[in-house]
Structure 1
Amino acid sequence: MAVPPVPHAKITVPALPPEFVVRAALRGELDGGATADVALVCAPAGYGKTLLLADWARSSTAADTAWVSLDRDDNDPERLWASIVAALAACPSVPGTSRLHGRWVWRAGAQPEFLDELVDAIRTLPRPIRLILDDLHELVDQEVLHGIQILTRNRPAGMQLVLSSRLDPPLSLPRLRMAGRLWELRAAQLRFSLPDTAALLEKSGLRITPTQVDLLHRRTGGWAAGLRLAAVGMAESADRDGFLSQFTGDERSVADYLVGEVLCGLPEDVQEFLRVISISEPVPTGLAAELSGREDAGSVLDGLENQTSLLSPTGQRRDAYIVQELLRTHLLADLRRQGLKRAAELHGVAARWWAGRPEPVHALDHAAQSLDSALLADLLHRFAVPLIVAGDHEPLRRALASAGAHTVAADPWLALSSALAHLEAGEFPAARADLGRARQSWPAHSPGNLTVLRTVAEQLSAGVVESTAATPPPAPRIIDELPAEPELEALARLSRGAARLERNDRAGARAEFEAALFLSHSHGFGYLAMQCLALLGVIAGATGDVQTMRAVSVEAVALATEHGWERSAWSCAATAMLAWGALLRTETAEAERLAAEGLAVGAATSSPHLRFALQDVHGAAAFDGGDRAGGLAELQQARSDLGNLPAGAQQVASHAMLEFGAALQLGHSTAARTVLGWLANRTGDNAEHVVMRALADAAGGRHEHARSLLRPVLEGAVTALLPQTMVDAWLLETTLALAGGERPAARRALQTALGLAEPLDALRPFTHAGPGIRELLVHQHGSFGASDAFAVRALAAGARSGSRQALLSERELTVLGLLPSLLSLDEIADDLTVSVNTVKSHVRSIYTKLGVSSRRLAVLAAHEHGLLASSVRQG
């Protein structure tokens, strides 16, 4: 029988639509796979297989392309091989004398002989040919598939076989793969990237925002058909945001495509399997078995992945699967149409399964959809505290909202859990209301764990809720007996530490926070670990342990960044400590940046006291950075914003020292007196108040009175609230001693100030101490013993580098670098191999440019302007 004629369209490379997006990377991959005997492009319907291969066939010149578009009629061997022969014969490089142009006769039962002749004919061609068989999944006839198998096995050297299919064809792929003869392109590689998605939508005539593009890309998972259907829908919709929010697999055009092109080829029992597992994302094999009742669920999932690519494995062990998003939402909608009760029952099964793992986030999400209020309440009792300490607050809030306000209000455990969740979100009035509901529903005989949870909630809320409440809650007591559950014990220790910190028992607070931190690290309580680290940073800062303060604060911020908790009050507290440390080290720009960052990200969740601390650092950094009037105004505004809210004595003293110093330096005596009175009213008598009064007297020229005020502080008779206050006190004593002509006393005072400042890394006091201090640092350089290195840093911190450096030539900077030495000008000339007159000329120029009249003053000016370090580097 002669081979029948073939329609031209069947063997023609398809045309590309106007919205087609060229994907150069995939073209390159196809070119790379052209060396394999067999190339398989396998993905579900709508992944762009046909168009990708058509684009490749049109753009690649390495070989001629013979294209065959397969359909169900090709399950007739005669029709199939007629199409393949015709496609091969149509290739431009096939000479007219080739047997492919001859008369081919098909004889039933003679397929092997027919294929042998076809292979021989292809082998004689002068140029390589790639045979692309598109939609191979349409072939199901065993004889036809056997013929394709023979062709793959006996493929002639000049031909590559390219197969495009929705399913893995039954062609001994493992054997081909093991022999290195198979190259594959799968759905994961065919998915559109975000840039591809943007290009497709633009070519479709849509002008949408990057946010909308990103949402659509995530919603479709890069599925080309889904993107094209969405583009059509968006073009017809007046409300594009509304369309996107409702675009799911149940949208009519998407559903029709999924049913007609994707699901119709699957057996009904597999479709039902997909429907029941669609309630979970992801779906582990064990849960799939529970939901479907099929013991072979793992095999079904593996088969669907390998044969259809409708779902993808996830996790290190690849024992859980993710169903393509639009398909999953379609299946879920279809399941719900069968009855809400059935879907709710499946969610209940999933909730119990996840709870047994335990995976509380998944368990609560499913319990909320199970319509089983008892199940949801039970899981909330079990998982609320673990979620709080782990930092999974949003899933907890969702579950509490699903439980309903009435249920939460009537259950003190749930009310207290809700209060803690609201506290972490910065929703202080809601937290206060929850605490009130917990008290109202309190049982006559409360279990120990419930009492612990109440104490924890009231302790953690004390610093923020009472500041916004008309009637402050009662002061929480310290928990005596620790609970057995690790998450409750860790929370209880956090509460005990906070209570001890309020009582100024820093050692006791540190021990509790360290114990809570150990538990957090041992059990994966990441959020609680961040809280403990932030509080340990506060304690370290208050006690002057700046190294520990920086280390634990950096660790807290790193945890926050890793888990997306940057907006939490605890992350902002750690940021505030880092900003304060940078301010003390005179890293002004860094201090201002950190404080601004903390104020920006923590605007909603931070307490007034935390905002006050961040504003303090930001204002002081602005002042130090040159915006003196703006910095003072910001400090004054911070104090005004705090108002009458209670604040710790250390925080009040810290602010007062900053604002007072700024006001005094600007000559605003009235403003300085206001701060002095504010500090006295808030904290009573302390070293900070005395130092501020002494500073005011010194600024007014009342040196003896200032010195007499300062003496009790220096002798330790008056306690300082802040570690760095004693540095300020001894620097003031240095200045006063210099003014009185007592240089040895001044030197001793400066030595003491350096010794106190070094472990605090407190360079800032030296930048505001005046020229007398800097001059003494220069003259006594090398005589401070163990503090010499820090003295050099103090000088550098006080330097004001700038335009004067540009005024000095490179040679003048070199000479300047040698002036602090004991070398004479003659020796400097010898060292530089120039004449002494040249050196003298440079020295005179240096004096003129620096506005000084002696070598000693030149060295001092060089230190002040940051020129000495520069000149040493130049030399």
Structure 2
Amino acid sequence: MPLVPHTKIAIPPLPPEFVERAALRAELDASVAADMALVCAPAGYGKTLLLADWSRTSPGVDTAWVSLDRDDNDPRRLWASIVAALAACPSVPDSSRLHGPWVWRADAQPEFLAELIDALGALPRPIRLILDDVHELVDTEALHGMQILTRNRTPGVQLVLSSRLDPPLSLPRLRLAGRLWELRAAQMRFSVSETTALLEKSGLHLTPAQVDLLHQRTGGWAAGLRLAATGAAESADLDAFVTQFSGNESSVADYLVGEVLSGLPADVQDFLRAISISEPIPTDLAAELSGRQDAGRLLDRLERQTSLLSPTGCQRDAYSVQELLRAHLRADLHRQGVQRATDLHRVAARWWAGRLEPVQALDHAALSQDAGLLKGLLHQFAVPLILAGDHGPLRRALATAGAQAVATNPWLALISALTHFEAGELRAARGDLRHARQSWPAHGSAGLSVLRAVAEQFSAGVAQTPPSPPKFAVRDISELPTEPELEALARLSRGTTRLERHDLAGARVEFEAALHLSRSHRFDYLTLQCLALLAGVAGSAGEVQTMRALSVQAVAKAGEHGWEDSTWSGAAMAMLAYSALMRTDTDEAERLATQGLALGGAASSPRLRFALHAVQGAATFDLGDRAGGLAQLQQARSEFGDVSASAEQVGSLAMLEFRAALLLGHSAAARTVRGWLADRTSDNAELVVMQAWTEATGGRHEHARSLLRPVLNGAVPALLPHTLVDSWLLETSLAVASGERPAARRALQSSLAVAEPLDALRPFAHAGPGIRELLVHQHGSFGASDAFAERAIAAGAGGAERRAMLSERELTVLGLLPSMLSLDEIAADLTVSVNTVKSHVRSIYTKLGVSSRRLAVLTAHEHGLLTSTLRLG
């Protein structure tokens, strides 16, 4: 038999940049339960190095290694190499038949292999035979010999095959018999951490984002990562190289052609080029693109035999091509002629459109260079995409259609306007709307009118100055086409119109109908809009719990789809922040306002930014930095300027700033705020209450009460539900100051009744000491409002500092003071002397600044140190 070079049967050395893969080594260790192992993956997945490392780290088993090549299709050379590798194992005794001599006769291969198998069976220790690059064997006789070797089970010998393709060795039969263990490409892909290690060992130190990008581009393909490392090391602009690295990079292309594609038939390579335009590639689309009826079988065979593709979806009816390979195939397709590529994209666009997959359809249409096809698909899919929130593909398609096409086509202009409005690009949106008006047809369709109505309302909604009523509004549902997306938009338009007219019930009906349609047809972005709008309606109606619940749903929907930067998510965040402020959850209000300001929606909406800044300022005020909080409120209003906003919004934020200014004694600042609100709204209760507060602060109590009467009897409407709480509390204070205790108690009862469903605790937190004392005195007599009254007593009481002043024992004694127990009985209850109790009581009086037990209990309740029910005579 021929002489065998030592390098052919030596375990290959490991390069310096080799990354140990302990998990895969452990899997290979587990393969010994099967007498045959197959490691199968395309070129460059690290098969050889993995097996070499495994061999070097397995001291308990001798390894015979053979590196196969094309010359081994000569059976005489093949078996000479295998016998030489086996004989070189240290555990093979000198007396073993493996040491030869061996004589090969072409007509006696079965006898030769029988003798070899007998010799292996006589070995005293286990041995592992690794045949690397089995895909090189294509000769019928050589493969027949391998078939004989695998068919015969040899105890103590494990056969390990490494191949780029599944070898023709009856693998299904071996699997069924439980004799085959397999390691495939999916398991051999590098993880992100292994990718980082490989690049660093190659002298390349990248940011985590750059590593993630290369890992994504290569799919964890070791050869691709090594080629990237080599190219990056030679590049003058590392960032640009990493960003642009693809299968069209010369070193990658050379490797793919030389090591991956060259072994495939020409028709298969052409098939791969054709299907490379789509990711993923469904089997039916592959058949359309390639014209091959056997496309499904070919995809399945390529996946099983080469691992160049991987199935996606539970039905295995679509495939994904490795990204670098796909990029190379697409570039190669264009090199063979742009026309074929555009024709394939046209086929793909129509195929996806027929399956109502608008994102893929538009993306392919944009690459088809077929303007008519693109416009037709935009007419078909643009509105559903807007409502679903898939604005990116829509923007790409509109950009491909071109500015001229958009400017002269009212449908495209309106779609473009809506996408710009949603992105906060107001100038571009208004330009599109202007083009739509200029190109408006004499007899537009109902669907076109719906689009314009919504676009006009968007424009009015973000106007910097008070807008004139939009010329287009959808007033009658019978005007609409039957398409659910257009009906949903019409409902949104009608609801917005009714909301502007303060028809809350009508607005709610329309928004709920739009919400039902959006959920039925998975228009997720419209769902977010409807939830935010319905939350606003609930807030305006004083349904605070409903407002909070809908706002939470809106924020969750935004988070689910990555729409946190939208104005709708920001609006829901602002409502949650304002609600938290009013229920004196001040830390949460400050957190939500700050979070909302950090998102993109506030940057594109002056109204939203004003609301969030104002809540943030009010929270700062309530947290103790009163001067800083007022300054933030004033700055928010100054930055807002003359931007148009609803009366409710300006009223709520003006009330926050006015009250802060008045509490700090800044009467001039308070007058400025009232003047600002008066300039922007007509007669309302908020303006009256502001004036009454001012009069009361100046000691003109009777005048203040006369101002309040039309507010309290409903003659002057309020912009905000909370304003009536402030009105009744002011009336309570004025009645207390006038010595009218019965009137004060009735007013306080009214304030609690109004405040409880609104969860409005903040007005009580800023109420005067007279109201707080009355709350404590009357506690237990408010009936159904008693629990809320207790919360009102504790609201903003600032008891933390006083609580820190009292010792644990003093707090215990304080907790017993509201009871009817005498000091002697308290001492007995605590098992201490009465003198000790008296000492604690004196300390409590000193720290609370009071002189009696009754005042101590009152003060403790005012500062949230007691929450039990009071019974004071």
1 CA distance for matches of 2:367 and 2:383? 21
Give the deviation of 1:468 after TM superposition.
Answer: 6.9
1:67-106 residue pairs with structure 2 within 5 A?
67-106=65-104
- Residue equivalent to 2:474: 478
1:760-775 residue pairs with structure 2 within 5 A?
760-775=758-773
SS at the partner of 1:733?
A: helix
1 CA distance for matches of 2:19 and 2:378? 49
Matched, 1:567 2:565: yes
- Residue equivalent to 1:250: 248
Instruction: Give the one of 171, 182, 197 matched to 1:199.
Output: 197
**What is the letter of the counterpart of residue 411 of structure 1?**
N
Give the deviation of 1:864 after TM superposition.
Answer: 4.1
- Residue equivalent to 2:507: 509
Instruction: Give the one of 544, 547, 572 matched to 2:545.
Output: 547
Give the deviation of 1:34 after TM superposition.
Answer: 3.4
- Which digits, 9 at most, give the CA deviation of each residue in 1:531-554, with x for residues without a partner? 111100111111111121111111
Q: 1:390 to 1:62 in 2, by over 3 A?
A: farther
1:660–1:676 Cα contact (<8 Å) kept = yes
> Which stretch shifts more, 378-387 or 598-607?
598-607
- Which digits, 9 at most, give the CA deviation of each residue in 1:434-459, with x for residues without a partner? 11111111122222222222122112
> Which stretch shifts more, 278-287 or 95-104?
95-104
Give the deviation of 1:869 after TM superposition.
Answer: 5.8
Q: 1:178 to 1:824 in 2, by over 3 A?
A: farther
1:321-470 residue pairs with structure 2 within 5 A?
321-464=319-462, 466-467=463-464
- Residue equivalent to 2:776: 778
2:465–2:642 Cα contact (<8 Å) kept = no
Instruction: Give the one of 641, 644, 648 matched to 2:642.
Output: 644
- Which digits, 9 at most, give the CA deviation of each residue in 1:196-235, with x for residues without a partner? 2222111111222222222222221211111111111111
Q: 1:73 to 1:698 in 2, by over 3 A?
A: same
Matched, 1:315 2:320: no
**What is the letter of the counterpart of residue 225 of structure 1?**
A
Q: 1:489 to 1:5 in 2, by over 3 A?
A: same
- Residue equivalent to 2:270: 272
- Residue equivalent to 1:706: 704
The two structures have a TM-score, normalised by structure 2, of: 0.96
1 CA distance for matches of 2:101 and 2:854? 109
Q: 1:129 to 1:861 in 2, by over 3 A?
A: farther
2 CA distance for matches of 1:852 and 1:118? 106
1:221–1:324 Cα contact (<8 Å) kept = yes
Gaps of 5+ in 2: none
SS at the partner of 1:798?
A: coil
Q: 1:63 to 1:745 in 2, by over 3 A?
A: farther
**What is the letter of the counterpart of residue 664 of structure 1?**
L
- Residue equivalent to 1:111: 109
Give the deviation of 1:871 after TM superposition.
Answer: 14
**What is the letter of the counterpart of residue 365 of structure 1?**
D
1 CA distance for matches of 2:869 and 2:263? 81
Q: 1:168 to 1:798 in 2, by over 3 A?
A: same
Matched, 1:141 2:145: no
1:314–1:321 Cα contact (<8 Å) kept = yes
Q: 1:379 to 1:846 in 2, by over 3 A?
A: same
Give the deviation of 1:398 after TM superposition.
Answer: 0.6
State the Cα RMSD in Å: 2.1
- Residue equivalent to 1:57: 55
**What is the letter of the counterpart of residue 758 of structure 1?**
E
2 CA distance for matches of 1:629 and 1:837? 46
2 CA distance for matches of 1:609 and 1:233? 50
Gaps of 5+ in 1: none
2 CA distance for matches of 1:645 and 1:592? 24
SS at the partner of 1:802?
A: helix
- Which digits, 9 at most, give the CA deviation of each residue in 1:657-699, with x for residues without a partner? 1000111111111101111111122213211111112222222
- Residue equivalent to 1:795: 793
Q: 1:645 to 1:76 in 2, by over 3 A?
A: same
Give the deviation of 1:524 after TM superposition.
Answer: 1.0
SS at the partner of 1:22?
A: coil
**What is the letter of the counterpart of residue 488 of structure 2?**
A
- Residue equivalent to 1:747: 745
SS at the partner of 1:41?
A: strand
- Residue equivalent to 2:838: 840
- Which digits, 9 at most, give the CA deviation of each residue in 1:99-143, with x for residues without a partner? 333433333343333333333333343433222221111122233
Instruction: Give the one of 139, 151, 174 matched to 1:176.
Output: 174
Aligned residues: 868
SS at the partner of 1:208?
A: coil
1:817–1:871 Cα contact (<8 Å) kept = no
Give the deviation of 1:504 after TM superposition.
Answer: 1.1
1:425–1:605 Cα contact (<8 Å) kept = no
SS at the partner of 2:604?
A: coil
1:813–1:871 Cα contact (<8 Å) kept = no
**What is the letter of the counterpart of residue 371 of structure 2?**
S
Q: 1:655 to 1:13 in 2, by over 3 A?
A: same
SS at the partner of 1:867?
A: coil
2 CA distance for matches of 1:642 and 1:478? 31
**What is the letter of the counterpart of residue 33 of structure 2?**
T
Give the deviation of 1:604 after TM superposition.
Answer: 6.7
Give the deviation of 1:165 after TM superposition.
Answer: 1.2
- Which digits, 9 at most, give the CA deviation of each residue in 1:157-179, with x for residues without a partner? 32222221111122222233233
Runs (4+) off by over 6 Å: none
2 CA distance for matches of 1:463 and 1:100? 89
2 CA distance for matches of 1:286 and 1:604? 46
- Residue equivalent to 2:627: 629
2 CA distance for matches of 1:62 and 1:765? 80
1 CA distance for matches of 2:660 and 2:831? 49
2:531–2:551 Cα contact (<8 Å) kept = yes
> Which stretch shifts more, 596-605 or 511-520?
596-605
> Matched residues, percent identical?
76
Instruction: Give the one of 126, 129, 140 matched to 2:127.
Output: 129
SS at the partner of 1:65?
A: strand
- Which digits, 9 at most, give the CA deviation of each residue in 1:282-304, with x for residues without a partner? 11111100000001100111111
1 CA distance for matches of 2:851 and 2:314? 74
The two structures have a TM-score, normalised by structure 1, of: 0.96
> Which stretch shifts more, 571-580 or 117-126?
117-126
1 CA distance for matches of 2:857 and 2:471? 60
1:426–1:604 Cα contact (<8 Å) kept = no
SS at the partner of 2:795?
A: helix
